[in-house]
């Protein structure tokens, strides 16, 4: 992210002039899309795979439940400075037979993560076209399988900057995120432990504890057209200094991931709600 400072400066410059609030939007929108992703098998893997995945496109601009560019969120508490909401996440499965470092080890199941997030507003630009927040999601992760089990938890406090009409281009939304990741021992052992029965000459037995899990940086850009939506993102992670960086399963301490997507909007509600420039319902 050597260019992050340039991106932030350009984005803030784009919101200096006052603008009117955005027009009313439908309470909900629905459609279908297709995304192309390129991700490492897991954080710390030097091997990556490309995925072409269909996805449902759904936006809901409710007062207490929202599905938007920030994901699915249940709003438990909100005022001008603080939001307490539910955040979710997910990870893709890993076939260990297709990963050299994990060959002979059990596969990694897909997982879902959920938990509360406390979001603190640090700064807001004119006409609410830009906002800087400290977001503090605390999530527990569970496998997705016939008999799910908890694999641990993580805490990832980060700074998040959202900008509407980024770089002076109407309708383009820019998001920037940066922050550390902290994971508990159970989570780290799930991904980075090598049990004695799976040890090999090139893969010695290894275990780890919880603690610092590296840094992550994300840049995202999207635009909503009348009948379709387009977007993309890039993510850079570094595991340098993490408590599990010496694991034989960590074959790369730095990686870049990304994806692009397009969705077609097939229907929307007749009911409309007033929103601000960042697309959030306003009272």
Q: Which of 8, 59, 54, 65 is nearest to 224 (CA)?
A: 59
| Residue 88 falls inside a structural domain | yes
Evaluate whether residue 89 is within a structural domain: yes
Task: Please report, for the domain that includes residue 151, its CATH number.
Answer: 2.40.230
- Residue 12 has what pLDDT? 34
Supply the range of the domain harboring residue 91: 4-273
Task: Per residue of the chain (283 residues), give pLDDT as tens.
Answer: 333 333 333 333 333 333 334 468 888 899 999 999 999 999 999 999 999 999 888 888 766 555 555 555 555 556 678 888 888 888 989 999 999 999 999 999 999 999 999 999 999 987 778 999 999 999 999 999 999 999 999 999 999 999 998 988 888 999 999 999 999 999 999 999 999 999 999 999 999 999 999 999 999 999 989 899 999 999 999 999 999 999 999 999 999 999 999 999 999 999 988 876 666 655 5
Total domains in the chain come to: 1
Q: Is residue 139 part of a domain?
A: yes
128 CB neighbour count, 10 Å cutoff:
19
Within a domain: residue 278? no
Domain annotation covers residue 283: no
Q: Is residue 70 part of a domain?
A: yes
pLDDT of residue 26: 87
279 falls within a domain: no
pLDDT at position 88 is 86
Note whether residue 252 is domain-resident. yes
Chain centre distance of CA 98? 25
Give pLDDT, residue 78: 62
């Amino acid at each position: 992210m050597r260019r992050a400072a340039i991106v932030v400066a350009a984005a803030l410059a784009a919101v200096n002039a006052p603008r009117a609030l955005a027009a009313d939007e439908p309470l909900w929108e629905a459609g279908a899309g297709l995304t192309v992703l390129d991700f490492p098998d897991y954080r710390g893997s030097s091997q990556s795979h490309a995925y072409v995945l269909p996805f449902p496109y759904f936006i809901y601009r409710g007062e207490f439940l929202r599905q938007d560019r920030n994901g699915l969120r249940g709003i438990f508490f909100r005022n001008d400075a603080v939001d307490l909401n539910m955040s979710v996440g997910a990870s893709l499965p890993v076939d260990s037979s297709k990963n050299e470092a994990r060959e002979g080890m059990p596969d990694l199941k897909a997982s879902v993560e959920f938990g509360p997030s406390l979001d603190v507003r640090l700064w807001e630009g004119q006409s609410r076209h830009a906002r800087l927040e400290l977001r503090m999601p605390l999530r527990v992760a569970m496998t997705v399988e016939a008999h799910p089990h908890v694999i641990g938890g993580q805490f990832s406090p980060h700074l998040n900057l959202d900008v509407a009409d980024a770089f002076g281009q109407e309708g383009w939304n820019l998001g920037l995120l940066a922050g550390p990741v902290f994971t508990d021992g159970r989570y780290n052992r799930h991904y980075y432990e090598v049990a004695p029965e799976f040890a090999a000459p090139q893969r010695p037995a290894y275990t780890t504890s919880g603690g610092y899990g590296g840094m992550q940086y994300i840049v995202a850009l999207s635009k909503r057209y009348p009948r379709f939506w387009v977007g993309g993102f890039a993510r850079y992670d570094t595991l340098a200094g993490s408590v599990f960086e010496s694991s034989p399963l960590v074959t790369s301490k730095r990686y870049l991931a990304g994806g692009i997507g397009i969705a077609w909007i097939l229907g929307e509600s007749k009911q409309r709600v007033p929103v601000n420039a960042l697309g959030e319902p306003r009272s």
